[in-house]
Chains A and B, each alone.
Chain A
Amino acid sequence: MDAYEVRGRLDVIEEEEAADEDAFVMVQDSPDVFCGDCGVLTVRGAAAHVSHALVTLAAGAQQMKDQLSKSRSKLSEKIIEMENFASNLEEIFITVEENFGRQEQNLEQHYNEVLQTLSQRNEARAAALDEQKNDKLERLYGQLLRCGQTLDASKELIESAQEVHRRRDKRAFLQAVMPIMKRVEQFAREEVDLKLGASLDFDVPTTDLSDVRQMMESINVLPAPSAPVMNPQIANSATETSLHVCWSLFSDDTVEFYELYWRLISDDCTMETPQEVCQLKVKETHCTVSDLLPNAQYELWVTATNTTGISPASERAVYMTVPSPPVIKARQCVSSLDAALIRWDSGNTNPVESYTLEFQEASADGESTATESIVAIPSCECLVQLQSWKRYIIHIRAVNIGGPSDRSPPLHISTTGTFFHLLEDTAHPSLSLSADGLTMFYLDEDLPISHMTFSDNTFNRCVAVLGDLVPIRGQYYWEMEVDESAEFRVGVAYEDTQRNSYLGGNNTSWCMRHILTPSRHKYEFLHNGWTPDIRITVQPLRIGVFLDYGRGILSFYNAALRQHLYTFSCQFLHYVHPCFALDNPGALTLCTGLTAPPYVAQP
C-alpha cells in the first residue's frame, strides 16, 4: 500500500463520516441520547444503558468528532513518515545505482587493463617466435647455399678430372694429372659438415605474467585512494606558531590514515638546500601543526593511505602563520587634546600585510569599554582622532593572510594636553639630551668640529633641536623651564626650516629669544630676522607657548605670573614643530602634557 492509497482511504473515511453524520441526523427523531460506553444512539431511560455514561447528542457528537480527528491525525503522521521513507528509498536507489555504476566502471577498467596487458604479452611473444623462425631459416638457407656451392665445386672438379682422364696424350695427361689429383684428394679429404645449422625445435620463453596475475588479484581488492584536496587556509585559524590545516577527500575511498607534509618556504635565495620536510600521521581530515615560525609561509601537502597503498600527493597548499605582535614606540608617540599619532615597530623581520590599531577608553573601575579599531594601516604609524579629557589604552596588531597577531603591549594616552618629544636626529651635535628626552644641555666643553657628526637633518649652526607635534591644525600648549643665565630661543618652525640658519632669522621660524647683557636682560620676538622692541621687567623662568592654527597665533607667556608677553599673528602654511635652541652653555627643560590654562585659550 503506498502513500497515495493510504490518503485515498482517509478521504473515504471523511466521506463516510460525513455520510454518517447525515445518518445521525436522520435518526435523530427517536433516540435523544448517546451512550458513551456502547457508542450507540439510544433513548433516555433505555434499560440496556441504565448504568452507562449517557450524554446528549450534541456532546456525544462532539466526543466522537474529537476521537475521530485524533485518529485521523495519527494516520496523517504515519503517512508523512512513510512518504519520507519512500523518498529516502528513492535516494538510496539512486545511490545504489551510482555506486553500482562506479564499481562497474572500475571493474571494466581493471579488466580492460588486464586484457590489454595480456594482448601485449601475446604480441611480444609472437614477435619473439617469429624472430626465432627467421633466424633459423636464415641459417639453414645459408647452409644450403654452402652445400650447393660445395657440390658445384666438386662437380666441377670431377668433370675436369674426367676430362683429364679422357685425354689421349700421355704426356699432357701426366702433366695435368698431378695437380688435379692433389685437388681431388684434398677435396675428398675435407670433411663435410653435414650437421644442421639450426635446430628444428623452437625455444619458447616463459612469459612473465606475474603482473597480470597481480592485476587480476587486485580487481577484487580495494583501490588505493585518490589524492586528497588541500583546503585553503581558514581565516583566523592560525597562531604565531601553529597552523590549523584542513583537507578533503572527494571520493568514497576508504582511508586508514593520512600523512601531512610541510616545509618552510624561505624567501632567502641564497639557501641552496631546501628546508627539510616534516611529516605527521593523522586520522582525521584536519590537524594542527605547531612549533612553527611566526609570519612565515609553509608549503603543505597530504597523502591518503589504505591497505592497498598510498594515494598520490595532493596539490601543495601554502599557509601562513600569524605575525608576532608589534611593539609601540612610546617615546615617538605624540598626542594633543583631540588626537594622537602612534608609531610602532613591526615586530617581524618580514613584511606583514597591514596593521590594526585598537583603542578603548580606560575606565576608572576596570570595567571593559567598547574597543574601536582602525584597520588596514599600511605603515608603522597612524593618526587617530580621540575625544578630549579622556584616558585611552591603545594596542596594535600586525595582520597577514594568516590573520591578526596578538595585541602589542598597551600604550596609555591622556587627551588632557599636548604630549610630545624632541626629534633627536635634528639636534645639533653640541646639544645633549637627558635620558627622558625632556631636558637639553649645551655643555661648556669645546668639542672639536671633527668629533661632531652632522647629517642633513641636524642643525649645524644654531645649537637647536625640533620637537614633534600631532599633525593636526588644532591648539597646543607647552611650557619650558630655563636657567636664569640661559640664552635661549624657543618657538616654532616648519619641519624643513633651514638647518644652517638661526631660529627666528628666517621666515620659516618664529621664536622668543633671551639675550643676557652685562646690564640687563633683553628679549626679542624673532621672525624673518625682525623683532618688535619690547622690554620685560620680570625675567620669565617658566615660559608658556600657545599655538593655535585656527586663529593663526603663537603666544608666549610668563607662566608663573600668567603674564602675556607677546603674540605672533601668522597663518601657518604647513604644520609647524616646536623648536628650542641655546645660544650659550645652559640648560632648558621641556614640560609637556599640560592643559592650556584658561587665560591662554580664551580668545
Chain B
Amino acid sequence: MRRLHESRVLNMNRLTKLFDKPQMVFTYINSELKRSLFVYRSAMALTQVSSNKCCDGYQKVFEHDSSELKCKMKFAIYLPPKAESSKCPVLYWLSGLTCTEQNFITKAGSQQAASEHGIIVVAPDTSPRGCNIEGEEESWDFGTGAGFYVNATQEPWKTNYRMYSYVTEELPRLINSNFPADPEKMSISGHSMGGHGALICALKNPGKYKSVSAFAPICNPIQCAWGQKAFSGYLGADKSTWELYDATVLAESYSGPELDILIDQGRDDQFLSSSQLLPDNLIAACSKKKIPVVFRLQQGYDHSYYFIFSFINDHIKHHAKYLNA
C-alpha cells in the first residue's frame, strides 16, 4: 500500500514538471491523492481500533467491512514478539454465547503463552452486528452474539448470518494478507458455542487445521436445547441440514488426516448438568472412529472465563506442539 502511494507521488512530481499552470497541478494532485487513498482503503479495509503492548507483543483490535457478513466486523489479534521478525502460525479462537471480541482478550490470559510460543491469536466476534434484523436482540442464545458458526439458509438470517464462511474463509484471507501469518499453520479453538464452532470447522475441513481444542464445547447440538433452537432458526426444519454442523455426527463420518483433540470440561458446569453440552456422545463417536481425543473433566470448575484462564496455557501448548513443529 505504501509503495503504491509512493509511486503515485513520483508520478505526480513528473507530472508537475509538465504542467505550467499551478492551479491545474493542485487539482490534479488532489484527485490523484484521493484515488490513492481510495485504493488504500479498499485494498486493506482494516482500521486499527486499539493497540496495547502485552507480554512484549501487541494486543490489537481491528475493524473491517466483511464481505460475507455484509457489515462492519471487529476482531482481536495478538501479535507475539516473534511476529516483528518472522511469520508466525495462527490460532483462531471462537468465543461463546453473548461474547464479543473483547471477552477473550481481557479475561482469558492467553497473551503470555502466545508470546512464549510465538503464536498469533485471532479472536473474531460471535455474530454479525448492526444489521438491524428483526428478532436478533430477543434472546441471548439466538441472533446477536449467537451466530453458532453456521451459514444460515433461512430468512431473515441468510444474508448476514454466514459465520461459518467468515471464520473458515474470509477471516484467514484477511489475516494472511495483512499480518505476518504463516498461511500453512492454522489451528482452531473455542469455548462453549465457540468450542462447537472449532470442532465443526476442523471436522469439516480435514487438513486445514493442524490441531483443535475446546473448552466446554457444545458437542452434539442437534440433541440439546441450544442447538435445536439455533438450528431450526438458521437452518430450517430439515434436520439433515443440521447434521452438517454437528460435531458428534461429523466425527462419526470423519475421514481425513489424523486429528489430536484436547477438550477441557468443568465438572461443576451448570450447562453440563443441564445436558446442553453432551460430551459423552462425542467421546463415544470418537472412540468408535478412533479419533484421538483427550477429554479432561476438571473438578470444581464451572463454565466461566476463570475456567478458561486456568487451562488456556495447556491448550496453547497443545497447539504449539503442532504449529511450531
Is B297 a contact of A599 with CB atoms below 8 Å?
no
A502 to B324, CA, bound (A): 39
**B294-A564 in contact (CB<8A):** yes
List residues of chain B with CB within 8 A of the CB of A602: 321, 324
Report how far A283 CA is from B303 CA in the complex, Å.
Answer: 101
Question: Any chain B CB within 8 A of the CB of A274?
Answer: no
Q: Are B296 and A533 in contact (CB under 8 A)?
A: yes
Interface string of A520-548 (1 = CB under 8 A from B): 10000000000011111110000000000
Query: Do the beta carbons of B292 and A561 come within 8 Å of each other?
Result: yes
Which residue from chain B places its CB closest to the CB of A523 in the assembled complex? B294
Q: Is A532 in contact with B287, judged by CB distance below 8 angstroms?
A: no
Question: In the bound complex, how far is the Cα of B26 from the Cα of A114, in angstroms?
Answer: 149
Asked if A537 contacts B260 (CB within 8 A), the reply is no
Q: What residues on B are CB-neighbors of A558 within 8 Å? A: 292
Inside 8 A of B324's CB, which chain A residues have their CB? 602
Chain B interface secondary structure, helix, strand, loop or mixed?
mixed
Binary CB contact string for chain B from 234 to 262 against chain A (1 if under 8 A, 0 otherwise): 00000000000000000000000010100
Determine whether A565 belongs to the interface, using a CB cutoff of 8 Å to chain B: yes
Pick the residue among A537, A562, A566, A599 that contacts B287 (CB under 8 A). A537
The CA-CA distance from A535 to B287 in the complex, in Å, is 10
In the assembled complex, the CB of A320 is this many whole angstroms from the nearest CB of chain B, namely 61
Binary per-residue interface labels of chain A (576-603) against chain B in the complex, 1 for a CB within 8 Å, 0 otherwise = 0000000000000000000000110010
Tell me the bound Cα distance from A537 to B286 in angstroms: 6
Check: A563 CB closer than 8 A to any chain B CB: yes
* Across-interface contacts of A564 in B (CB, < 8 A): 294, 318, 321
Report the minimal beta-carbon distance from B237 to chain A, rounded to whole angstroms.
33
Cβ A565 vs Cβ B299 within 8 A: no
Asked if A563 meets B297 with Cβ closer than 8 Å, knowing A520-B287, A533-B267, A599-B325, the reply is: no
Nearest opposing residue in chain B for A538, CB measure: B292
Chain B positions within 8 Å of A534 at CB level: 294-297
Q: How far is the CB of B265 from chain A (nearest CB, A)?
A: 9
Q: How far is the CB of B220 from chain A (nearest CB, A)?
A: 15
Q: Tell me the complex Cα distance, A488–B162, Å.
A: 49
Residues of A within 8 A of B258 (CB): 561
Residues B206-223 near A (CB distance < 8 A) = none
Q: Is the CB of B290 within 8 A of A599?
A: no
- CB of B289 to closest CB in A, whole Å: 8
**How far apart sit A533 and B301, CA to CA, in the bound complex (Å)?**
13
Given A533-B299, A537-B287, A562-B260, A599 contacting B321 (CB threshold 8 A): yes
In the bound complex, residues from chain A placing their C-beta under 8 Å from that of B318 are: 564
- B293 close to chain A: CB less than 8 A: yes
The answer, among A520, A532, A537, A598, for a CB contact under 8 Å with B293, is A537
Question: Smallest Cβ distance from B249 to chain A, in angstroms?
Answer: 16
Interface: B291 (CB within 8 A): yes
Residue among B267, B291, B296, B299 making CB contact with A538, cutoff 8 Å: B291
Complex Cα gap A564–B293 (Å): 10
Tell me the minimal C-beta distance from B159 to chain A in angstroms: 39
Interfacial residues of chain A within 66-81, with CB under 8 A of chain B in the complex:
none
How far, in Å, is B120 (CB) from chain A's closest CB? Answer: 19
CA distance A37 to B318 in the complex (A): 110
CB-based contact A533/B325 at 8 Å:
no
B267 adjacent to A536 (CB under 8 Å): no
Residue B283 lies at the interface, judged by CB distance under 8 Å to chain A: yes
Task: List residues of chain A with CB within 8 A of the CB of B292.
Answer: 536-538, 558, 561, 563
Chain B residue numbers with a CB within 8 Å of A535 are: 283, 293-295, 297
The A-contacting residues of B in range 288-325, CB under 8 angstroms, are 290-299, 318, 321, 324-325
In the bound assembly, the distance between CA atoms of A26 and B77 in angstroms comes to 114
**Which residues of A (550-574) have their CB < 8 Å from a CB of B?**
558, 561-566
* A residues near B321, Cβ cutoff 8 Å: 562, 564, 599, 602
| CB nearest neighbor in A for B321 | A599
| Closest chain B residue to A535, Cβ basis | B295
* Minimum C-beta distance from A518 to chain B (A): 14
The docked-state distance in angstroms from the alpha carbon of A532 to that of B298 is: 7
Which of B294, B298, B299, B325 touches A536 (beta carbons < 8 Å)?
Answer: B294
Q: How far is the CA of A283 from the CA of B44 in the complex (A)?
A: 107
User: Which residues of A, 331-348, contact B by the 8 Å Cβ criterion?
Assistant: none
Distance, CA A536 to CA B283, complexed state (A): 8
B283's partner among A532, A537, A562, A566 (CB-CB below 8 A) is A537
Q: Which residues of A contact B296 (CB under 8 A)?
A: 532-534
Write out the residue numbers on chain B whose beta carbons fall within 8 Å of the beta carbon of A537. Answer: 283, 286-287, 290-293, 295
Report A-chain residues with C-beta under 8 Å of the C-beta of B298.
532-533
Residues of B within 8 A of A566 (CB): 294
Chain A nearest Cβ from B300, distance in angstroms = 11
A561 neighbours in B (Cβ, 8 Å): 258, 260, 292
Q: How long is the Cα–Cα vector from A42 to B59 in the complex, in angstroms?
A: 115
Query: For residues 485 through 526 of chain A, which have their beta carbon under 8 Å from a beta carbon of chain B?
Result: 520
> In the complex, which residues of chain A have a beta carbon less than 8 angstroms from the beta carbon of B325?
598-599
A598 vs B325: C-alpha distance when bound (angstroms)? 8
How far, in whole Å, are A220 and B286 apart by their CA atoms in the complex? Answer: 117
> Could you tell me the distance between the alpha carbons of A536 and B318 in the complex, rounded to whole angstroms?
15
In the complex, chain A residues whose CB is within 8 Å of the CB of B291: 537-538
Chain B residues with CB under 8 A of A520: 287
Give min CB distance, B114 to chain A, whole Å: 15
List residues of chain A with CB within 8 A of the CB of B283. 535, 537
Q: What does the 1/0 interface line of A156-171 toward B look like (CB < 8 Å)? A: 0000000000000000
Q: How far apart are the CA atoms of A565 and B294 in the complex, in Å? A: 7
> Are B286 and A532 interface neighbours, CB within 8 A?
no
Looking at A537, A561, A565, A599, the one whose CB has the most chain B CB atoms below 10 A away is A537
Residue from A533, A538, A565, A598 with most neighbouring chain B CB atoms (10 Å):
A538
A562 to B292, CA, bound (A): 10
**Nearest B residue (CB) for A561:** B292
B297: chain A residues within 8 A (beta carbon): 532-535
Minimum Cβ distance to chain B for residue A421 (Å): 31
User: Is B294 within 8 A of A532, CB to CB?
Assistant: no
Give bound CA distance, A537 to B281, whole Å. 12
Whether B260 contacts A536 by the Cβ 8 Å rule is no
Q: Are B290 and A538 in contact (CB under 8 A)?
A: yes
CB distance from A470 to the nearest CB of B (A): 27
Q: How far is the CA of A188 from the CA of B297 in the complex (A)?
A: 157
B267: A residues at CB distance < 8 A: 533
Shortest distance in angstroms between B319's beta carbon and chain A's nearest beta carbon?
11
Chain A: minimal CB distance from B293 (Å):
4
Q: Name which residue of chain A comes closest to B116, CB basis.
A: A603
Q: Give the nearest-CB partner of B324 in chain A.
A: A602
Instruction: Name the residue of chain A whose CB is nearest to the CB of B285.
Output: A537
Q: Contact string, B273-287, partner A, CB cutoff 8 A, digits 1/0?
A: 000000000010011
Please report which residues of chain B, range 126-149, place their CB below 8 angstroms from some CB of chain A when the two chains form the complex: none
Q: How far is the CA of A587 from the CA of B260 in the complex (A)?
A: 28
A599–B319 CA distance with the chains assembled, in angstroms: 11
CB-based nearest A residue for B258: A561
Cβ distance B261 to chain A, nearest Cβ, rounded Å = 8
- CB of B275 to closest CB in A, whole Å: 18
Docked complex Cα distance between A535 and B291 (Å): 12
Kindly state the separation between the CA atoms of A602 and B260 in the bound complex, as whole angstroms. Answer: 18
CA distance A562 to B318 in the complex (A): 11
Q: Across the two chains, which residue of chain A brings its CB closest to B261?
A: A537
Complex Cα spacing A599 to B325, Å: 8
| Pairs across A and B, CB under 8 Å, 23 listed | A520-B287, A532-B297, A532-B298, A533-B267, A533-B298, A534-B294, A534-B296, A534-B297, A535-B297, A536-B293, A536-B294, A537-B283, A537-B293, A538-B287, A538-B290, A561-B258, A561-B260, A562-B260, A563-B294, A564-B321, A566-B294, A598-B325, A599-B321
Which 6 pairs between the two chains have the least Cβ-Cβ distance? A533-B297, A537-B286, A535-B295, A537-B293, A537-B287, A538-B292
Seen from chain A, the residues whose Cβ lies within 8 Å of a Cβ on chain B are: 520, 532-538, 558, 561-566, 598-599, 602
Question: Can you name 10 extra interface pairs (CB under 8 A) apart from A533-B299, A535-B293?
Answer: A532-B296, A534-B294, A534-B295, A535-B294, A536-B293, A536-B294, A537-B295, A563-B260, A602-B321, A602-B324
